[in-house]
Structure 1
C-alpha cells in the first residue's frame, strides 16, 4: 500500500496520493452506485487486471475510503462499499464527471460507456 507522507505542502498532493492513478477514481465512482462484489467490479471495469483490482481495493480500504465486508456463508461472500468518509467524495466525482461531459461535448468526443454527470443531475 502506498504510504502517505507525514506532511504535505498542499491538500491536493494528499488527495492525489489517496485516489490518484488510473483506477481508484473509477472504483470509487462505481462503488457510489452501491455495494459491489469483486467480479462485479471486474465486469464494470474490464480493462483492470485481477491483481491491480485487488491492490487498488486494498489501498482504498487501507486509507479508509472503501469497506470490505465478508459474509460468513458457504461459499463466503465479500462485498465492497464506500465508507461514510469515502462517500464525501461523491460531489467531487460528480463534478469531475460533469466537467468530462462538458469537455467531451466541446471536443466532439462520444461518451457511451458509463453514466455521465448529466445522468446524476436528472436523479
Structure 2
C-alpha cells in the first residue's frame, strides 16, 4: 500500500483526532503537488489550497497553523463543527443553485451563512 493510499484510507475513518485529519490532508496536498519528500515540507512549495488555509488561520489569530479543540477550518473559514454542518446543509438545500465548491462565490456564500449564524439570524445553531 502506497503512502497516498494509506493517507486516503485514514481520512475516511472516523474517530481520529481532528489535528490528524488536518495533517493527513496537508500531506495529501503535498503529494498531489508533486512533492516527493512530504516528510520535509520546507522543500516543497505549498499548494494554493494550503496557502489560502494558512491566510485564513493567521487572520483568525492562529499564526502557527493549528486550531484549538472545538474549531475547524471548513468552507474557507474557521468555525465550529456545528457551524460547518449547518452551512453544509444549507448549501445542499440550494440544489443546482449552489455555487461550485471552491469558487469565490461559494466562499462568499459560506461567509454570509456564517455571519448570519453568528448574528443569531439562523435559529438552527441553538438547537
> How does the TM-score come out when normalised to structure 1?
0.28
Select the structure that is richer in helix. 2
Greater relative contact order (CA < 8 Å, ≥ 6 in sequence): 1
> How does the TM-score come out when normalised to structure 2?
0.27
